[in-house]
Amino acid sequence: MDKIKIAVAKGDGIGPEVMDAVLRIFEAAQVPLEYSFVDMGKSFYDKGFSTGMTPEAKETVESLGILFKGPMETPKGKGVKSINVTARKTWSTYANRRHFKSLTGVDTVFSKAAIPIDLTIVRENIEGTYGGIEHMLTQDVALCRRFITRPGSLQVHRFAFEMAKKEGFKKVTCAHKANIMKLTDGLFLETFYEVAKEYPEIESNDIIVDDLAMKLVSKPQTFEVVVLTNLQGDIMSDLCAGLVGGLGFAPSANIGDNISIFEAVHGTAPDIMGKNIANPTALLLSGFMMLRYLGLMNQANAIENALLVTLEEGNHTGDFGDKSKPSLNTTEFSDLIIRNLGRVPAAGEARKAAAAVSSYKIPSLPATQKMMFTESRKPEAVIGVDLFFESQKTAAEIAPMLQKHERDGVKLIMISNRGTQVWPTGSVFTECVDQYRARFEVKEGSSNLSEMMKLAESAGGDFFVSSVELLRSFDGKPAYSLAQGQ
């Protein structure tokens, strides 16, 4: 068959060693791929490329649609963004899939108890706190904005259900914190159940994320596919790696409509760089996900079976396995996998998908950036404003100063500090910092943007107003949260 051309970035630290090992295994298995090696990683930050990649690398990835990458380091203390996060967000790889499965020969608490694990974390990959939008509001107070959008949530939920349908999973769980973050996580949960209605054959349920953490370490076998917001998904996927032996067995796929990135989750391990002792398994597992995405099912299954045979026979690198049996270096471990091509493990073959999972197509250059929004709009109104301002006075001292700026129909409703109401009621035990929020609301009807900006400008004569948030309603319902104690 014709070869599929993909972009390959070897990465930093142990990246080139594990990537070379995986590509050598692919070659031995006659995987029909052609590689275009691209310049990405820390050394390119150091050469002045602020994104960690050359323009030629960016162009190559965008023309091929597939990036297979080793671990990459972001320079510390230089104010630059992670190349890993930048790549995922730039190319809109909105779904991060991480698959965790028990492997014979990789001993864990659960394998010793004969409890098999086969679960997938699907993490929203673009939004949430990983938007990285942060500001210092005072010298003592930092703010991070957390965006959850309806279109972005619908994308990742639909991916989770489609993947479950194609690969034979029977249950999808949404993990969230909607009991506390009622608007952001609430929107994520609401859209989950909207999508779930399209897949009645798949069981759908939800769980609060802290309860999920407890159940993952006590009953992980009860979960199949779990979909989460960005930061929560990042944390829970590392927890799941611990269930199956660590990050050395944690593959990752970042899936978008046009471009997809396949990479190991682990870091660059500079302490063992160049020693030929790194474990290539995580990147190899990521490679299986890539091959199946490309429709190369037979090659993926053959290599995975060879890996399973190698592990089943007790072979291991220095980071895992029976220490009474000598460790293999990267080359020796890879050689054994190659020798085991064509064999099938006694403990079970590679899991075959219930349907074809390939969705690969070479991307065409869009005419412009894609806009995503809900077309059916609800009636909306401006019904107030939150002013965030700096002061070292108490709320009791501040309130009369703010009330001077009230205007017709717009009244001071509440003052909060760190999210907790401190006026008109509150507790003297509530400890405050020098960043307050004052909420003004319209008693009846609606106001307008101009009136709210004039109010902010007026209050700015007495206080340093660092941020202004309009209070809006959609279909007559307030579209903002209450303060604690309000």
Distance CA 71, CA 248 (A): 12
Say if residue 351 is in the same domain as residue 385. no
Say if residue 244 is in the same domain as residue 154. yes
pLDDT band for 83, please (50, 70, 90 cuts). Answer: confident
Say if residue 237 is in the same domain as residue 278. no
Q: Which of the two residues, 378 and 469, has the higher pLDDT score?
A: 469
- Comparing 46-55, 99-108, 235-244, 328-337, the range with the smallest average pLDDT is 46-55
Domain count, the chain: 3
* Residue 173 pLDDT > 70: yes
pLDDT band for 479, please (50, 70, 90 cuts). Answer: very high
State the average pLDDT over residues 421-426: 96
Q: Is residue 359 part of a domain?
A: yes
Q: Which of the two residues, 191 and 450, has the higher pLDDT score?
A: 191
- Comparing 286-290, 366-370, 443-447, the range with the smallest average pLDDT is 443-447
- Comparing 2-6, 64-68, 72-76, 329-333, the range with the smallest average pLDDT is 72-76
Domain that holds residue 23: 1-94+259-372
Q: Is residue 484 part of a domain?
A: no
**pLDDT tens digits, one per residue of 342-362:** 999 998 778 777 666 666 778
Q: Is residue 223 part of a domain?
A: yes
- Comparing 56-60, 79-83, 198-202, the range with the smallest average pLDDT is 79-83
Say if residue 53 is in the same domain as residue 137. no
Q: Is residue 485 part of a domain?
A: no
* Residue 95 pLDDT > 80: yes
* Residue 301 pLDDT > 90: yes
Q: Is residue 405 part of a domain?
A: yes
pLDDT attached to residue 1: 67
Say if residue 182 is in the same domain as residue 199. yes
Say if residue 60 is in the same domain as residue 162. no
What integer best gives the mean pLDDT of the chain? Answer: 93
- For residue 67, what is the domain's CATH number? 3.40.718.10
Q: Is residue 486 part of a domain?
A: no
- For residue 390, what is the domain's CATH number? 3.30.70.1570
- Comparing 83-87, 403-407, 435-439, the range with the smallest average pLDDT is 83-87
What pTM, to 2 d.p., does this model score? 0.91
Q: Is residue 483 part of a domain?
A: no
pLDDT attached to residue 374: 83
Q: Is residue 220 part of a domain?
A: yes
Among 197, 225, 255, the domain boundary falls at 255
pLDDT band for 78, please (50, 70, 90 cuts). Answer: low
* Residue 433 pLDDT > 70: yes
pLDDT attached to residue 79: 63
Among 238, 255, 272, the domain boundary falls at 255
Percent with pLDDT over 90 in the chain? 78
State the average pLDDT over residues 169-195: 97
Say if residue 23 is in the same domain as residue 46. yes
Say if residue 113 is in the same domain as residue 233. yes
Q: Which of the two residues, 252 and 130, has the higher pLDDT score?
A: 252
State the average pLDDT over residues 60-69: 96
Say if residue 111 is in the same domain as residue 185. yes
pLDDT attached to residue 102: 92
- Comparing 119-133, 209-223, 399-413, 439-453, the range with the smallest average pLDDT is 439-453
Say if residue 246 is in the same domain as residue 121. yes
pLDDT attached to residue 197: 98
Say if residue 287 is in the same domain as residue 323. yes
Among 223, 255, 287, the domain boundary falls at 255
Say if residue 119 is in the same domain as residue 245. yes
* Residue 324 pLDDT > 90: no
pLDDT attached to residue 49: 85
